Structure 1
Amino acid sequence: MMRILLVDDNKTNLIFLGKLVEKLAGCEPVLFDNPVDVLTTMPALDFDIAVIDFQMPAYNGVELLAEVRRFEKYRNKPVVFVTADGDGAVRMAALNAGAIDFLTKPVSPLEFLARMRNLVALVDAQNKLADKAEWLRVEVQKAVRELRSREEEIIDRLTIAASYKDAETAKHIKRVGLYSEAIARSYGLGEELCNDIRLASPMHDIGKVAIPDAVLLKKGRLSEQEFATMQEHTIAGCNILRESNSSLLQLAAEIARSHHERWDGQGYPFRLSREAIPLSGRIVALADNFDALTTARSYKPAWSVEQTVAHIRERAGSQFDPACVEAFERALPAILKAMRDNIDGPARVSQTVSPPSPEAVSRSWLAEAI
Structure 2
Amino acid sequence: MDDAKDTVLIVDDNAENRALLGEVLKPYFHILITTRGEQAIRVCQKHLPDIVLLDIMMPEMDGYEVCRRLKSDERTQAIPVIFLTAKSQIADEQQGFDVGAVDYILKPISPPILLARVHTHLRLKQAMSDLASQNYILEERVRERTHHLESLQNATIEAMASLAETRDNETGNHIRRTQRYIKYLAEELVRQGLYVEQLSPETIENLFKSAPLHDIGKVGIPDAILLKAGQLTEDEFEIMKTHTEIGRNVIVSVESAIDFKCDFLQFAKEIAMSHQEKWDGTGYPQGLKAYEIPLSARLMALADVYDALISERVYKPAFTHKKAVSIIKKGQGTHFEPAIVAAFLAIEQQFKETARTYRDEGFHEASFPSGNQNKG
| Structure 2 equivalent of residue 342 of structure 1 | 358
CA distance in 1, matches of 2:329, 2:31: 73
- How big is each residue's C-alpha offset from its partner over 1:23-45, in whole Å with a ceiling of 9 and x where there is no partner? 33xx5455554434566788777
Equivalent position amino acid for 2:297 in 1: G
Q: Say which of 140, 144, 147 aligns to 2:146.
A: 144
Q: 1:129 to 1:261 in 2, by over 3 A?
A: same
TM-fit CA distance, 1:14: 5.3
Q: Say which of 315, 327, 337 aligns to 1:321.
A: 337
Q: Does the 8 Å contact 2:277/2:287 carry over to 1?
A: yes
- Deviation above 6 Å: which 4+ runs of structure 1? 40-45
| Structure 2 equivalent of residue 219 of structure 1 | 229
Q: Say which of 286, 289, 293 aligns to 2:302.
A: 286
Q: 1:163 to 1:313 in 2, by over 3 A?
A: closer
| Aligned-residue CA RMSD (Å) | 3.3
CA distance in 2, matches of 1:292, 1:250: 24
Task: Tell me whether 199-208 or 211-220 shows the greater mean CA deviation.
Answer: 211-220
TM-score by length of 1: 0.80
2:66 is paired with a residue whose SS is helix
Q: 1:98 to 1:334 in 2, by over 3 A?
A: same
Q: 1:295 to 1:98 in 2, by over 3 A?
A: same
CA distance in 1, matches of 2:242, 2:47: 68
Equivalent position amino acid for 1:289 in 2: V
| Structure 1 equivalent of residue 89 of structure 2 | 87
Equivalent position amino acid for 1:295 in 2: S
Equivalent position amino acid for 2:369 in 1: S
CA distance in 2, matches of 1:231, 1:266: 13
| Structure 1 equivalent of residue 184 of structure 2 | 182
Q: Does the 8 Å contact 1:243/1:250 carry over to 2?
A: no
| Structure 2 equivalent of residue 198 of structure 1 | 208
TM-fit CA distance, 1:204: 0.8
TM-fit CA distance, 1:250: 4.5
In the TM superposition, what are the counterparts of 1:18-33 in structure 2 within 5 Å? 20-24=24-28, 28-29=30-31, 32-33=34-35
Q: Say which of 145, 170, 173 aligns to 2:172.
A: 170
Equivalent position amino acid for 2:172 in 1: A
Q: 1:51 to 1:328 in 2, by over 3 A?
A: farther
Equivalent position amino acid for 2:95 in 1: A
Q: 1:12 to 1:236 in 2, by over 3 A?
A: farther
Q: 1:4 to 1:42 in 2, by over 3 A?
A: closer
CA distance in 2, matches of 1:5, 1:264: 79
| Structure 2 equivalent of residue 35 of structure 1 | 37
Task: Tell me whether 47-56 or 78-87 shows the greater mean CA deviation.
Answer: 47-56
Q: 1:66 to 1:161 in 2, by over 3 A?
A: same
Q: Does the 8 Å contact 1:51/1:82 carry over to 2?
A: yes
2:368 is paired with a residue whose SS is coil
Q: Does the 8 Å contact 1:151/1:248 carry over to 2?
A: no
CA distance in 1, matches of 2:224, 2:149: 38
Q: Say which of 107, 129, 132 aligns to 2:131.
A: 129
CA distance in 1, matches of 2:43, 2:341: 57
Q: Does the 8 Å contact 2:227/2:314 carry over to 1?
A: no
Equivalent position amino acid for 2:37 in 1: P
CA distance in 2, matches of 1:153, 1:249: 15
- How big is each residue's C-alpha offset from its partner over 1:83-130, in whole Å with a ceiling of 9 and x where there is no partner? 221122111112233323111234333322211111111122222222
CA distance in 2, matches of 1:13, 1:330: 78
TM-fit CA distance, 1:81: 1.4
| Structure 1 equivalent of residue 219 of structure 2 | 209
Q: 1:61 to 1:277 in 2, by over 3 A?
A: farther
CA distance in 2, matches of 1:79, 1:10: 18
Equivalent position amino acid for 1:136 in 2: L
Equivalent position amino acid for 1:252 in 2: A
Gaps of 5+ in 2: 191-198
Q: 1:42 to 1:216 in 2, by over 3 A?
A: farther
TM-fit CA distance, 1:131: 2.3
1:243 is paired with a residue whose SS is helix
Q: Does the 8 Å contact 2:37/2:60 carry over to 1?
A: yes
Q: Does the 8 Å contact 2:9/2:52 carry over to 1?
A: yes
1:319 is paired with a residue whose SS is coil
Q: Does the 8 Å contact 2:44/2:76 carry over to 1?
A: no
Q: Say which of 319, 322, 330 aligns to 1:306.
A: 322
Does 1:238 pair with 2:248? yes
TM-score by length of 2: 0.79
Q: 1:291 to 1:120 in 2, by over 3 A?
A: same
TM-fit CA distance, 1:171: 2.0
TM-fit CA distance, 1:17: 4.3
Q: 1:241 to 1:4 in 2, by over 3 A?
A: farther
CA distance in 2, matches of 1:177, 1:139: 30
How many residue pairs get aligned? The number is 351
Equivalent position amino acid for 2:287 in 1: R
Task: Tell me whether 219-228 or 186-195 shows the greater mean CA deviation.
Answer: 186-195
Q: 1:223 to 1:41 in 2, by over 3 A?
A: farther
- How big is each residue's C-alpha offset from its partner over 1:250-271, in whole Å with a ceiling of 9 and x where there is no partner? 5423321222233444433233
